[in-house]
Amino acid sequence: MIWKKKQKELSAQPPPELLPESGAEADVQEAEISANDAAKLESAAAAELAPEAFEEATGEPLLSVSSVHRSFPASGAPIHVLKGITMTVPQRQIVMLRGRSGSGKTTLLNLIGGLDTPSKGEIWFDGMPIHKLNDDQRTIIRRERMGFIFQAFALMPLLSAWENVELSLRMAGTPRGEWKGRVEHCLELVGLERRMKHRPFEMSGGEQQRVAIAKAIAHRPKLLLADEPTAELDSQMSAQIMNVFRTIIKTEGVTICMTTHDPTILEVADHVYEMVDGTFI
């Protein structure tokens, strides 16, 4: 299916030397987004505050989803998967989406992450209308401001933990001089300072997922989206992952939105949205 395919493409990013150079069109779009940022920074300056302080002072949520619908074309009637979803995700919190298989959690996460667009409704992230942006603009936002974690750990199998994390810095365009310090810091944060040279097949499932977390936060995203990040792990490893999430909220100021089936980890959430058949109850 399309949405799973997109996640797969996202998680299997090739090294940048294999990627085409970004063209003039992308540069223009980048400039447009920077202009947006400039406007935000201006209003922050008007309030004589740094952007982060401005966000905190205004109490604006990092993410807000308003009356979102998503239908998919089908032979016969379209499939109406999301039926008017409204939610907010405050800064530095962990929000969980819970619900049965097929209730629409992944569909919603994909809309929030800009991998897909709503049929109706609005999604605002970090002051930007994700629902109005084109594919390239959403890609830039995703690359620079979001991190993704999937159920299957999505690491490059031939690269070490270190190289996997470094790859995400390359992809985000982080200056080369910052790579070493940042990779070390992120792997230390997830407690893998002694495993930096190991490749995925030499690590346990929990360790691989911690590398995936280090990789997802290396470029300092504001929002971390995680789709069933503990589904492949036993309860002890799941608890470790949730501890890591709590740590990175404190130390990196990241905000987390994740899906789960697992009732035991729900207590870690600041807020839980229960989804049934495309709506929240």
Environment class of 255 (CB within 10 Å of its CB; exposed 0-12, middle 13-18, buried 19+)? buried
Instruction: Work out how close the CB of 117 gets to ligand ATP at its nearest, in angstroms, rounded to a whole number.
Output: 12
Q: Which is nearer to ligand ATP, 42 or 274 (CB)?
A: 274
CB 228 within 8 A of CB 238: no
Could you tell me the CA-to-CA distances from 206 to 56, 164, 171, 234, 239 in Å, in that order? 33, 16, 24, 9, 10
Instruction: Work out how close the CB of 264 gets to ligand ATP at its nearest, in angstroms, rounded to a whole number.
Output: 17
Beta-bridged to residue 123, according to DSSP, are 65
Instruction: Work out which of 1, 38, 77, 281 binds ligand ATP, going by CB under 6 A.
Output: 1
Instruction: Work out how close the CB of 104 gets to ligand ATP at its nearest, in angstroms, rounded to a whole number.
Output: 4
Q: Which stretch binds ligand ATP (CB under 6 A): 1-9, 51-59, 126-134, 202-210?
A: 1-9
Instruction: Work out how close the CB of 31 gets to ligand ATP at its nearest, in angstroms, rounded to a whole number.
Output: 32
Instruction: Work out which of 2, 39, 45, 158 binds ligand ATP, going by CB under 6 A.
Output: 2
Q: Which is nearer to ligand ATP, 4 or 132 (CB)?
A: 4
Instruction: Work out how close the CB of 3 gets to ligand ATP at its nearest, in angstroms, rounded to a whole number.
Output: 5
Q: Which of residues 35-74 bind ligand ATP (CB under 6 A)?
A: 72
CA dist 275 and 281 (Å) reads: 6
Q: Which of residues 67-126 bind ligand ATP (CB under 6 A)?
A: 72, 79, 81, 99, 101-107
Q: Which is nearer to ligand ATP, 68 or 81 (CB)?
A: 81
Q: Which is nearer to ligand ATP, 228 or 252 (CB)?
A: 228
CB 271 within 8 A of CB 93: yes
Q: Which residue has the tokens 């070390």?
A: 184
Instruction: Work out how close the CB of 278 gets to ligand ATP at its nearest, in angstroms, rounded to a whole number.
Output: 7
Beta-bridged to residue 273, according to DSSP, are 97
Question: How many binding residues for ligand ATP (CB under 6 A)?
Answer: 14
Q: Which is nearer to ligand ATP, 99 or 147 (CB)?
A: 99
Q: Which of residues 212-241 bind ligand ATP (CB under 6 A)?
A: none
Q: Which is nearer to ligand ATP, 101 or 236 (CB)?
A: 101
Instruction: Retrieve residue 139's tokens.
Output: 């890609």
> Among 190, 193, 237, which Cα is nearest to 217's?
190
Backbone phi, psi, residue 164, to 5°: -60, -45
Q: Which is nearer to ligand ATP, 3 or 280 (CB)?
A: 3
Enumerate residues 6+ apart whose C-beta is below 8 A from 38. Answer: none
Could you tell me the CA-to-CA distances from 163 to 62, 148, 157, 176 in Å, in that order? 30, 17, 10, 13
CB 189 within 8 A of CB 248: yes
Instruction: Work out how close the CB of 268 gets to ligand ATP at its nearest, in angstroms, rounded to a whole number.
Output: 19
Q: What 8-state DSSP symbol labels residue 199?
A: -
Residues that bind ligand ATP (CB under 6 A): 1-3, 72, 79, 81, 99, 101-107
